Structures are given as structure tokens and as C-alpha cells.
Chain A
Amino acid sequence: DAMVIQNPRYQVTQFGKPVTLSCSQTLNHNVMYWYQQKSSQAPKLLFHYYDKDFNNEADTPDNFQSRRPNTSFCFLDIRSPGLGDAAMYLCATSRDQEGGGTQYFGPGTRLLVL
């Protein structure tokens, strides 16, 4: 089945220790998104890629970076995690942004910062 996969499902890191979350997709979608979601809040878009074009949200901290080496994979790097970065990180994909813009989500990675 075509799907969006995130690894790991749970990640524990220490304050200030870099961490990388990964996302892969078999849908061959052009667009990949990273969201941060805290308990009982709306998902917050961090950035997205349209193919290789990177689009950063204005209020995404510099501490968050992303890489998309190919169509299938996208990574979220948190350079120096703080306690406030503990959250669920959601990867989503869409075929494009206009007519085929329905976003499909991976299962998420829950990040705990100690």
C-alpha cells in the first residue's frame, strides 16, 4: 500500500542534543510538509518542499532545518532541542498544492526532551 512512513515513532533526546526525524513516502507526491503539534492544539506548519523548492514559514525558529535529498525522503533536523520543542512531529504529503492538494499524514514522531 502507498503510504507515508515516519521513523522513529518515539524519540527521546537531551536538552541541546541534535536530533533528526525522518519521513519517507511511496505515494510519489511532489509536496512534503513538516508540522509540529502540541497537545490539544492545531498542527503548526514548519516548512514544506514543493519538489526541491524549500518554503520556510516566517515564524519557524532557525533551530529547525530540513533536507529533502530525493522525492521519497524528507528529514527534520532540530539543532539544539529545548524543552519547548517536545511535541508530536507530523510529516504529510500531497500530490500538489492546488487541485490535488489533499494532505496525507504519516503516523508522527513523538519527541521528548529531557
Chain B
Amino acid sequence: GQNIDQPTEMTATEGAIVQINCTYQTSGFNGLFWYQQHAGEAPTFLSYNVLDGLEEKGRFSSFLSRSKGYSYLLLKELQMKDSASYLCAVRDSNYQLIWGAGTKLIIKP
């Protein structure tokens, strides 16, 4: 079967750095996506990785290792508005998105 694993919940402090991990086992690989979802709202696109390495976009960075089936999302200089769920999704060989259940990130002052 196909599955995406990410921690259910994480807590971090405002101004700090947090790393959210995602491991995957899918039928083929055609890219990995990270989305942010605030409570009661729709997911918004954060990043896309298809090659190994780090993609940086402002305070957010995403890393991919295809050989290890592993990605992480790194959030720097945390702000209260970063409190949300972060969803990892992998596009398989049929170009279907396989979604993780999301990591709920709680930011404390």
C-alpha cells in the first residue's frame, strides 16, 4: 500500500525554528508537496520538491531525499500565524496525490 507518515502534533515557541518530518512509501514518485492548512480553511500551497536537496522560500524551506523516502519542512522565525496543520503529499507514478494526515503545529508565545 501507499502511505505518508508525519507526526500528529508538534509544539514550538514563537521566534524559534521547527522541522516537520515526512516519510513516504508510494508506487513511484513524481514530486512532493507541502501545504499549510489553517483550521476550517482550505490548504494553501507552500512548496514543491522533485529533486534531492533543499528548496528555500523565505522563512520556509523544504528538503527531499528520494533514496530515503524522506522530506522535511523547516520553518524559521516562527510567528503566531504559523499555527496551522502542515500536510505532506506525494505524487505517485499515476500522478495521483497521496496525502498525509497533517501535522498540527502549535506556536506558544
List residues of A whose CB falls within 8 A of some B CB: 40-45, 88, 90, 97-98, 101-108, 110
Contacts and interface: CB of A to CB of B under 8 A. Distances in A.
B98 to A, nearest CB: 9
Contacts of B33: 102-103
Contacts of A108: 41-42
Interface residues of B, number: 21
Which has the most chain A C-beta neighbours within 10 Å: B30, B42, B102?
B42
B95 A42 contact: no
B97 A104 contact: no
B43 A40 contact: no
Is chain A's interface secondary structure helix, strand, loop, or mixed overall? loop
B3 to A, nearest CB: 10
A42 B35 CA distance: 11
A44 to B, nearest CB: 8
Nearest to B39: A39
Interface string B1-42: 000100000000000000000000000001101000000111
Nearest to B98: A42
Contacts of B99: 42-44
B31 A101 contact: yes
A98 B104 CA distance: 29
Given A42-B87, A43-B43, A90-B42, A103 B48 contact: no
A98 B95 contact: yes
Interface in B25-76: 30-31, 33, 40-45, 48
B50 to A, nearest CB: 9
24 contacts: A40-B101, A40-B104, A42-B4, A42-B100, A43-B99, A45-B96, A90-B43, A97-B95, A98-B30, A101-B95, A102-B33, A102-B45, A102-B48, A103-B45, A103-B97, A104-B45, A105-B42, A105-B43, A105-B44, A106-B42, A107-B41, A108-B41, A108-B42, A110-B40
